[in-house]
Amino acid sequence: MPQITNGSIKLERILYRIIFIFALITLALRLLYYFAFQDKFLDFNTCTGIVLLVYSYDNIFIKNKS
């Protein structure tokens, strides 16, 4: 990966945090919908939310720990 300047790293971390919050909201709403309507929990929206959550968590807390 090419060298990233300090300002670019901050912007990237903000973007990953926005994705992380978006994924948390998506999964929370899906969980509420599941309990309210007894619908299937694991569908495309849930899988997408889980993938976004794991990807952004990895980039926020593990890769950018320095």
Count of domains forming the chain: 1
Burial class, 61, CB count within 10 angstroms (exposed 0-12 / middle 13-18 / buried 19+): exposed
Residue 30 lies in a domain: yes
**Of the given ranges (2-6, 36-40, 45-49), which has the lowest mean pLDDT?**
2-6
**35: domain range?**
8-63
pLDDT at residue 20 in the model: 87
Residue 48 lies in a domain: yes
The model carries a pTM of: 0.68
Q: What angle do CA 22, 55, 8 make, to 5 degrees?
A: 85
